[in-house]
Structure 1
Amino acid sequence: METKDAFRNPILTGFYPDPSICRAGDDYYMVTSSFEYYPGVPLFHSKDLVHWRQLGHVLDRPSQLDLDGTPCSKGIYAATIRYHAGMFYMITTFVVSQTGARRNFYVTSADPAGDWSDPVWMPDAPGIDSSFFFDDDGKAYVTANRVPPEGQQYPKHMEIWLQQYDLERRTMIGDKFSLWDGALKYAHAQEGPHIYKRDGYYYLLISEGGTGFTHAVTVARSERLTGPYEGCKANPILTHRHLGQSSGIVNVGHADLVETQAGEWWMVCLASRPFGGPYRNLGRETFLVPVAWEDGWPVVNPGKGIVEMESRRPALPEHRYPSLPACDHFDREVLDDRWNYIRTPRGEFLSLTERQGYLRLRLKPESIARAENPSFIGRRQQHMRFAARTVMEFAPAANGEAAGLVLLQNHDFQLRAEYGMVDGMTAVRLIERRDGIERFIAERACEAGKLYLKVEADGQLYRFDYAKQAEQWEILAADVDGRLLSSDVAGGFVGAYIGLYATSCGERSSADRYADFDWFEYKGEEV
């Protein structure tokens, strides 16, 4: 429970992985990965490191982010945000496909809450998890991971490289330097590099061991930027793998450091909260942990060495933001920042103005069950116990037309409560899609111009209800297994989404085929 002396982790709940943070004066800015979801790279602002408000997204124009055909859990990886000489830089990797190119690029803005530039692509920057470092002399450097020039000595063996970057000419200059391949030999997947300078030393912070149960944070230092780097004898400086899979916080890693104006150091990192067994429906979330310096090395959460659910507050004035409303009445001309599309939206399938106070989703042939851009908007599941509900007006007129509420892990793992037409009859159905195979969990013959839909989750048990009149709920299905919404079952790197969608199931529909949603409400409860 949050008090005047303590805060509660995570500071960003739900699918907000790979956090990166920077400070500009008394203001803090943070970004996270977004993978195949659009807009890309959610951007947050804070004054006290504990309370955050979303400013928007860094990549919010199709000219910045083309996700057409991007597979699930590919797309935008591990963004880094930095502030230098009055300019903000966000650098990241676009993972094109399962085996295709890893393309690094950056965008800039003098005002993080305003428009960011179109991408500056960096064809000479290999690997993933690119990061900027600005030295005291103003020179810029890029670092990321790559396969070692002499080859991999064991599976997923990577190293960290560094090269100077000319910001004016927008090009790499000089040689690439091999810096370090980590402290945990044979742990694999050395990634997520960040460089800091403190008291005459350059510190290289990385993650290794993979982003799952064996994830860990390690650090090395050098008096020269290009090395050689000396690993900390206390490595890994942060991990939870020794706590076992029954720990309340697992998979800790991918960290970034920031120094406050009060002289304190803090670390943001990703971690997961499993529930109902080793299942992580909420994905990888953002946590905050204190850091001290001893004998020239960072010590994470001194005396404890782990990330805790409750921790002491930073020595900064508390700065809260107004709570966001639980119910979106769709009465604005643009979507709330909590909503996302799957991949870059194509076609005019959404309107908030054609019918005032309603979200109109036109039926598209593109399917939520394929790697396409369906007629869908979704928001993150952020609680183990929650209730979500909506009301829609929709009159299916042909077989395959459907609209409703979806709980989504990816296009092959989902739960859909939908109203549609099958064999000339309308019905409300609950469909489980598991590993690409669909089965009806429940089906009720139904004719309704207006239909209410609700899902309630208590851990991994989900209940679905429907109603023709407000609050006159009927059970569609109870005790539905929610574990298929975990990446531990479905694979990949993202957390579960809850959203609204409409489909013509592969058939072209006329422009007058749509579903109108009056409101959407999500209420979560901390457990």
Structure 2
Amino acid sequence: MNLLKIGIAGLLLSLSLTPSFAQDAVSQTWVADLGNGMYKNPILYADYSDPDACRVGDDYYMTASSFNCIPGLPILHSKDLVNWTIIGYAIDRMPENALFGTGVNHGGNVWAPAIRYHNGEFYIYYGDPDLGIFMTKTKDPAGTWEPLVLVKEGKGLIDSCPLFDDDGNVYLAHGYAGSRAGIKSLLAVTRLTPDGKKAVGESRIIYDGHDIDPTIEGPKFYKRNGYYYIFAPAGGVATGWQVAMRSKSVFGPYERKIVMAQGKSPINGPHQGAWVDTSTGEDWFIHFQDVGAIGRITHLQPMVWKNDWPVIGIDEDGDGSGDPVLTYKKPNVGKTYPIATPAESDEFSAGTLGLQWQWHANPQSWWYFADSTKGLLSLYSVPVVDGYKSLWDAPNLLLQKAPAPEFTTTMKLTLVPDNRFFGEKTGLVVMGLDYGVLTFENTENGFVLSQAECIKAEKGTTEKVNASVTLKNPTVYLRVKISEGAVCTFSYSEDGKKFTTLGNTFQAKEGKWIGAKVGTFCNRPIGGNDGGRVDIDWFRLTK
């Protein structure tokens, strides 16, 4: 399977029932564009962690960490920095040397990428904390990206960003993961070959943040007015600040200044992101905020330059460090563009998966069939032959990001079991370090719907059933409503009209470096040469 070779139009949502769920429908859960020339933060209330972006002409392209989720390295596009859509992925599966196998490498693989445009090509560099720094490139960001190249091998090398200097030299800034390297709070720069594919010599430490900038990481490399700049977050994900450093020499020494902090705003830990400009001469900064269960959501801040230092947000007291904004005038990009949002709901009429979907690990090609003639997504049951404990390490979870602080997910499905055995199950899951789920299972007593949860799933605990009901028909509507504070209420319906609450409320929790995700699955308790499936009519996210 190669999702990147499929046309973009075929990968987006398609209409099968009502105009509310059309292929180009605007989100029903979160829209940042206020429609009056203003926008609100976050511009994406979804877990696009560690965002980076670049401008090419009048187009903006953004990518983000994807960790163990596949396809990886999402590519988003915008014309105005406020309205974004998903146009593809740079990785359709992790390479064979990645720590994946057939299982799930929770929190591993793709950390803090950087995207740049150079000599007609787009480059993405990212750090795999267990293997080193990788690169891929393309001439078409919505098309196929080249196979990954290991640029610099080494355990604990993360958060990489290139700089294509105007003299033809190429450099790479990166950080260190304390969990693998045994050291953190250091930033380094290394030289690359002219083609950007290989590090030359050893990295040189250019900044030590232990004393005043603990946990400094995520460097982004720029050059302006003869200065080399490194933008980097420090102080921790939920509580930190944004630092800028400058030097006349690529290897330093660097001066340092805090250029954005929480200040009086409610936006905690505002940092790690991308400086971008507009063709009209404005400067902006994209960054994330950690909000717990939903993950690390994406903000857009105004930015200005004063005395060759960036000031991000609004600097009311004039100290050179800005506070984040909640609402602001949209960037001046020369014209007005229509409201657009990443894909969420899926009617499965396009003959392939929508771009919002990611697997929990490298997928097998036979796991699904998107039937455009019937408007169905069929998930074939994947064997769980070592005894079922939980979904934590199930690689065939098909998930998407939570898109808002409050939303409702509803799906219609029909379980088509293999009647030679019992125990095949499907369902609707809110996945994280803890997870809650509605499971629909073929049993000796008929079709049984259960509400279950698994607390501390990452510790190997077993899923616990809170309530069950026996249903006569294989078709059922499953629903979860996520309310303020990420509290989940599960319900079901046999006719799609009247929904009955089942089981306990569940407190959603983030995953390993990622936000809670919603989605589905299909498993069976035995191996053998065949099994059943679930046919999913649609999967809808609403307010």
TM-score normalized by the length of structure 1? 0.86
Asked if structure 2 preserves the Cα contact closer than 8 Å seen for 1:281 and 1:495, the reply is yes
Trace 1:442-461 onto structure 2 (pairs within 5 A). Answer: 442-459=467-484, 460-461=486-487
CA distance in 1, matches of 2:202, 2:521: 50
Q: Deviations 1:47-103 (Å, cap 9, x if unpaired)?
A: 1111111111111245599543443222210010001111110000123xxxxx242
CA distance in 2, matches of 1:185, 1:83: 35
Provide closer, same or farther for how the CA distance between residues 143 and 380 of structure 1 changes in structure 2, counting only shifts above 3 A.
Answer: same
AA partner of residue 169 (structure 2): K
Partner of 2:495: 469
Aligned Cα root-mean-square deviation (Å): 2.6
Shift of 1:494: 0.6
Shift of 1:208: 1.6
Trace 1:498-509 onto structure 2 (pairs within 5 A). Answer: 498-505=518-525, 507-508=526-527
Partner of 1:170: 197
CA distance in 2, matches of 1:368, 1:337: 30
Partner of 2:110: 76
Trace 1:488-499 onto structure 2 (pairs within 5 A). Answer: 492-499=512-519
Asked if 1:200 is matched to 2:226, the reply is yes
Shift of 1:141: 0.8
Asked if 1:377 is matched to 2:395, the reply is no
Shift of 1:251: 2.8
Trace 1:153-302 onto structure 2 (pairs within 5 A). Answer: 157-168=184-195, 170-174=197-201, 176-182=203-209, 185=211, 187-211=213-237, 213-232=238-257, 235=258, 237-240=259-262, 248-273=266-291, 280-302=292-314
1:106 to 135, 138, 163: 135
CA distance in 1, matches of 2:524, 2:483: 32
Secondary structure of the structure 2 residue equivalent to 1:214: coil
Provide closer, same or farther for how the CA distance between residues 78 and 65 of structure 1 changes in structure 2, counting only shifts above 3 A.
Answer: farther
1:406 to 410, 429, 446: 429
Partner of 1:338: 356
CA distance in 2, matches of 1:17, 1:369: 26
Which segments of 5 or more consecutive residues in structure 2 lack a partner in the other structure? 1-32, 317-321
Number of equivalenced pairs:
490
Asked if structure 2 preserves the Cα contact closer than 8 Å seen for 1:374 and 1:501, the reply is no
2:326 to 296, 302, 309: 309
Asked if structure 1 preserves the Cα contact closer than 8 Å seen for 2:347 and 2:538, the reply is yes
Partner of 2:172: 142
Percent same amino acid at aligned positions? 26
Shift of 1:27: 1.2
Shift of 1:8: 1.2
Secondary structure of the structure 2 residue equivalent to 1:352: strand
CA distance in 2, matches of 1:249, 1:65: 39
Partner of 1:53: 85
AA partner of residue 401 (structure 2): R
Shift of 1:453: 0.9
1:356 to 374, 387, 395: 374
Asked if structure 1 preserves the Cα contact closer than 8 Å seen for 2:128 and 2:157, the reply is no
1:4 to 36, 40, 43: 36
CA distance in 2, matches of 1:404, 1:175: 50
CA distance in 2, matches of 1:461, 1:486: 9
Asked if 1:514 is matched to 2:543, the reply is no
Provide closer, same or farther for how the CA distance between residues 210 and 121 of structure 1 changes in structure 2, counting only shifts above 3 A.
Answer: same
Secondary structure of the structure 1 residue equivalent to 2:146: coil
Provide closer, same or farther for how the CA distance between residues 65 and 37 of structure 1 changes in structure 2, counting only shifts above 3 A.
Answer: farther
Q: Deviations 1:299-357 (Å, cap 9, x if unpaired)?
A: 11233522222122112122225567764221112111011111110251111139731
TM-score normalized by the length of structure 2? 0.84
Q: Deviations 1:486-505 (Å, cap 9, x if unpaired)?
A: 23xx6x31111110111114
AA partner of residue 230 (structure 1): E
- Which stretches of structure 1, 4 residues or longer, exceed 6 Å deviation after superposition? none
CA distance in 2, matches of 1:461, 1:497: 13
CA distance in 2, matches of 1:143, 1:323: 32
Provide closer, same or farther for how the CA distance between residues 336 and 8 of structure 1 changes in structure 2, counting only shifts above 3 A.
Answer: same
AA partner of residue 123 (structure 2): Y
AA partner of residue 437 (structure 2): R
Partner of 1:276: none
Partner of 2:72: 40
Greater shift, 51-60 or 165-174, is seen at 165-174
Partner of 1:122: 151
Provide closer, same or farther for how the CA distance between residues 112 and 82 of structure 1 changes in structure 2, counting only shifts above 3 A.
Answer: same
Q: Deviations 1:381-400 (Å, cap 9, x if unpaired)?
A: 11122111111111454443
CA distance in 2, matches of 1:159, 1:439: 43
